[in-house]
Amino acid sequence: MFLGTHNPRLDDKGRVILPAKFREALAEGVVITKGQERCLYVFPEEEFARLADALQAAPMSSKTARAYNRVFFASAHDEVPDKQGRVTIPPRLRQYAGLDRDLIVIGASNRVEIWNADTWEAYLEASEEDFADIEEGDLPEGLLVERHVRRR
């Protein structure tokens, strides 16, 4: 599971050093692709394969599923991190996410997300109030932390 917030920098060759605590889980290979809210998703290869199977199970008759799959898979880039834990982010993905030198890399459970630092701060500012006000019923059954704590 990927957790936490990190502040690496993008180097002049378009590479980012993955946080040390993520490297072991990503050492065998990663798939980087477009994510929602103009960030990039970084999946371990096995997780990407699991997700790909689920996405491919969507009916081809669904226009939304076709559109999502096209962008998601067409923008995917796979590689193995080097010995320093660096991965290269292709120019088209850097452009999509508006990446410049200052980045935010977050752990998001089954994936890592790479954000432009300013975009992340704006997203966080806009979302934290909503997060603080989430009530039971706003999330799928069993996801609210307070509910799990009360049951124990």
The residues near 113 (Cβ < 8 Å, ≥ 6 apart) are 35, 39, 40, 41, 42, 105, 106
pLDDT > 70: what percent of the chain? 91
pLDDT digits (tens, 9 = 90+) for 127-143: 998 888 887 667 777 66
Q: Is the pLDDT of residue 85 over 60?
A: yes
Q: Is the pLDDT of residue 148 over 50?
A: no
Which architecture characterizes domain 5-117 according to CATH? Answer: 3-Layer(aba) Sandwich (3.40)
DSSP 2: B
The pTM (predicted TM-score) of the whole model is 0.89
The domain limits of the chain are 5-117
Residues 67-87: what's their mean pLDDT? 97
Mean pLDDT of the chain: 92
Q: Is the pLDDT of residue 35 over 70?
A: yes
